[in-house]
Amino acid sequence: MRYYIYRHGYNDENQPKREGVTYSMRVAELEADDAEEALELAHERVIVYPNQTLTAELADEVDRRGGEIARSAGIP
């Protein structure tokens, strides 16, 4: 399954708190059997500082929610 990995938390080194930088940022897209495996893989590839965390979401679910939002806003 395909997972999107999000990093949460500001840090001056990789996700500074300034205009245009979000608190939660998609930082990877990985193939894994489950969210736990996706997070293990992400921790090998993504820099995370002590005040930051990672989460994994199924890409299909995120993409579906995005489509629903676009349809409700009248975006083709």
Convert the pLDDT of each residue in 11-66 to its tens digit: 999 999 988 788 899 999 999 999 999 999 999 999 999 999 999 999 999 988 87
Q: Give the domain extent around 25.
A: 2-72
Beta bridge partners of 56: 5
**Number of domains within the chain:** 1
Distance of CA 50 to the CA centre of its chain: 17
Rounded to 5°, angle at Cα 53 from 61 and 30:
45
User: Closest by alpha carbon to 51, among 3, 4, 5, 16?
Assistant: 16
pTM assigned to the model: 0.83
